[in-house]
Amino acid sequence: MSLTPALRDAAFRWIADDPDTDSRAELQGVLARAMGGDAAAADDLADRMAGPLTFGTAGLRGPVRAGSNGVNVAVVVRTTAGLAGWLRARGHTGLVFVGRDARHGSEAFCSAAAGVLAAAGFEVRVLPEPLPTPVLAFLVRAHGAVAGVQITASHNPPADNGYKLYLAGGSQIVPPDDREIEAAVAAVTSAVSVPRSRDWATVDPADVDAYSAHVSALPRGTARDLRVALTPMHGVGGRTAVEVLRRAGFTDVRVVRSQAVPDPDFPTVVFPNPEEPGAADALLALAAESDADLAVALDPDADRCALGVRERDGSWRMLRGDETGVLLGSLVLSTLDRTAHPDPLVATTIVSSSLLGSIAKAHDVRCAETLTGFKWLVRAGDGEGTGLVYAYEEALGHCVDPDSVRDKDGISAAVVACDLAATLKAAGETLLDALDRLAAEHGVHLTDQVALRFDDLSRIGALMARLRADPPPELAGIAVTAEDLLPEADVLRLTGAGVRVVVRPSGTEPKLKAYLEVVEPAGTDLAAAREGAAARLADVRTAVEALLTD
């Protein structure tokens, strides 16, 4: 495209208002090339100025770059000024925690956020180093803070960063708060004129240690004979996870050396997400080489946890998020203190397996389904999450201790998973045996996912519109009924006999996702039921792939 006067003027205004020297120079360079007739630079400039970023499933996320449609000091200053004004307008003043991961720009963005909040009159405490997101969520809840800001892009590609926001009680924001805060951000007229102060305190190491001490006490069993292979995937969770496991009694932990130290370039993985094909290869190799009993992968900010297991033929594979989810949920429910939790609730999302609901029913426990995202899961039931004892979503998010961390927490999930694996090992069993028991009792529930990545986000909207206008009457020979969840959510659900497909745009990545589930009664032959379910799932996957690519 060619450089328009409106785009040129918007870029000039942004440059004049940017408080960061490096970002100003970066955008000036792009603008100069565009003014010189470079069409690619004009396209780049248009994309950079296409903002502002908006709060998605888990906060703001975008590429680290200058401009309104990126994550940079100016955007962080504006966002935090809007947040501060919104909090004050509602009478919320007092303590705020600010933390960060180890991504590009995180330290500067953390300082910018802390500085704006301090100048606005809040009591600001900044985490002393890059630390897992669950540590910040724990501190917000434990200290009754009015808000918490974590600079992180979680499992996004290396070029990205983000801004994750917690409010009082330690939960992420939901509508209408997100739109109100965005309106407050839009009302910030000048980033360069927003006051900033260095008048903040560093979080006491004892407060950070309180998280580790609490999580290490979560195991319900006494068995500790377990060898664990672990990777933090170049993120910030490695040291905390190993320390928590050690305190819990799991001292035989082998860490993937090439991925042990935080590295914002994530050099050994294409995408630093345990869900991505190949991302856990180094972990599984270490598990095989070290004869481990369990493999654990954390995502870069350690709020997600994936488990790897040895198959009965000796090979290793990663469990699906649904498999881990029902294993941990079953453990929580089977060891639940009904005196402390007289009316317990578990929760999962509309795109996760329906098996948790069956398990909950067997334990006479309430089960709720929510929209995707932990901001909804922790509010399941009455809108406040009253009675919540466990929640999970298939995208490797598990909340095993909602009383303390009102969000997904990969480290606490890892500790509880090790507890389960060690207990099973002491009885001569593995996680696969536990999964077999659940299938025998509740039927075989197999899940899969089709994910299409797009550079042009408009194609995602076009695909969703086409599906809504002409939903398929059947999938793989099974009659299905379409249910459109608009306006509540941009989701189309297709259901039939023993089959469910949920199609939605990702809230954190440029992807269109389809979540598949088939359910097969186990009967007396579990192996045959698994085989039949696998064949049906493969047929459904083929049909969905064709549906999304036509």
Active site residues: 154
Q: Alpha-carbon distance 311 to 319, whole Å?
A: 10
Among residues 218, 231, 227, 240, the alpha carbon closest in space to that of 258 is found at 231
Q: Alpha-carbon distance 126 to 54, whole Å?
A: 24
CB contact burial 241-267 (16+ within 10 A = b; e otherwise): bbbbbebbbbeebbbbeebbebbbebe
**Burial grade of 452 (CB within 10 A; 0-12, 13-18, 19 or more):** middle
Cβ atoms 285, 360 nearer than 8 A:
no
Cβ atoms 414, 298 nearer than 8 A:
yes
Q: Alpha-carbon distance 53 to 168, whole Å?
A: 23
DSSP SS3 for 525 = coil
Token pair 């090439």 is at which residue? Answer: 258
3-state secondary structure 250-269: CCEEEECHHHCCCCCCCCCC
**Burial grade of 303 (CB within 10 A; 0-12, 13-18, 19 or more):** buried
Cβ atoms 426, 511 nearer than 8 A:
no
Neighbouring-strand partners of residue 448: 516
Cβ atoms 331, 392 nearer than 8 A:
no
Q: Which helix (H) or strand (E) holds 390?
A: strand 388-393
Neighbouring-strand partners of residue 435: none
